[in-house]
Every structure is written in C-alpha cells, then in structure tokens.
Amino acid sequence: MTTIVRSDEISCGGCTATIEKALMSVPGVTRVSGNPETKVVTVEHDTSVDEHKILEKMDEAGFAAEIVS
C-alpha cells in the first residue's frame, strides 16, 4: 500500500530525514520518501499500518500533516 502525506512544515532535507527516520520505525513500513519542495511524503507499507499511525508518528516528529491519498 502507498499513503501520501502532506505537511506545510517540511522546509528542508533535514526535515525529510527526520520524518523518514520516524516513519521507518513503524512496523510494516517498508519505504519512506520525502520531498521538501512539494512538502509531500510517500509512505509504502503493508496493510497492518493504519493511516492514523502515520499521522501520529509525523506529529511526534514535530510535523503536523494530512493524508493526501
């Protein structure tokens, strides 16, 4: 599965690195790719990962976010 998340608080590569590290700690997440230019994070995961868990981890990392798709 792929979940796309947007956060207006992403401003640099350091931000995406922090988010990628946080989301990769979620069991079932297999790949995370952030783009500071578009402020979008693409999360590949299995069906055991709830979208709310992705948003929760983003928030814990300091980034308010919303699910795009």
Q: CATH number of the domain at 26, please.
A: 3.30.70.100
Dig out the tokens for 64 from the structure.
């308010």
The domain tally of the chain equals 1
Identify the three-state secondary structure at position 28.
Answer: coil
pLDDT at 8: 96
Confidence of residue 69 (pLDDT cuts 50, 70, 90): confident
pLDDT at 9: 95
Tell me the per-residue pLDDT of 12-62, one tens digit each, with 9 for 90 and over: 999 999 999 999 999 999 999 999 999 999 999 999 999 999 999 999 999
| CA dist., res. 12 & res. 1, Å (int) | 26
Structural domain range at position 36:
2-67
- Give the closest residue to 22 by CA, choosing from 36, 12, 34, 11: 34
pLDDT at 25: 96
Measured in whole angstroms, the distance separating CA 30 from the mean position of its chain's CA atoms is 12
**Helix (DSSP H) and strand (DSSP E) numbers for the chain:** 2, 4
